[in-house]
Homo-oligomer: A and B are copies of this chain.
Amino acid sequence: MTGDSPSGLTHIDSRGNARMVDVSAKPATPRRATAQGSVRMRPATLELITGGEVGKGDVLGVARVAAIMAAKRTGELIPLCHPLGLDSVTVDFSPAPPDRILISATAALVGRTGVEMEALTAVSIAALTIYDMCKAADKEMVIGESWLAAKTGGRSGDFRHPSPPA
């Protein structure tokens, strides 16, 4: 019904229409993906998040929950993503003084398609949540670049980003 795309974009069929790629003939195999990103902010804002007595860690705790929950809903947000029953999501934050928080998210499942988008979505929602919780103090924060750091499993084989931004 939908032939191979001459465009090289699998999500577009031979007539130029968007589609959810058929993965039903692929075997269910273990897959894992890690994405990375960051939020850049004033040094004083970073201290509010990481150094204070009150609310210590709470911004990152809320952002972690938001990221895990969003990863589970990736298929609702990204139109052509397959809905997936994720087997694992972890989200880690590393303060990088004086002005950044690094974000890393890893998703895994046994399934017919990869979990790159789940890991990337987790990073994006974590960054947006940090922005939201700190924006009263600092509207000039910048959500940093994000990328697929690594993936394993699936027909296209393992991948490690050859030139990660930072």
Contact = CB atoms under 8 A, between A and B. Distances in A.
A54 B132 contact: no
Interface residues of A, number: 99
A18 B143 contact: no
Interface of A: 1-2, 5-24, 30, 37, 40, 48-49, 52, 54-56, 58-59, 61-62, 64-66, 68-70, 72-73, 75-92, 106, 108-112, 116-117, 120-121, 124-125, 127-129, 131-137, 139-148, 151, 159, 161-163, 165
Contact of A48 (B9, B21, B135, B163): B9
Nearest to A124: B124
Contact of A9 (B55, B142, B165): B55
A137 to B, nearest CB: 5
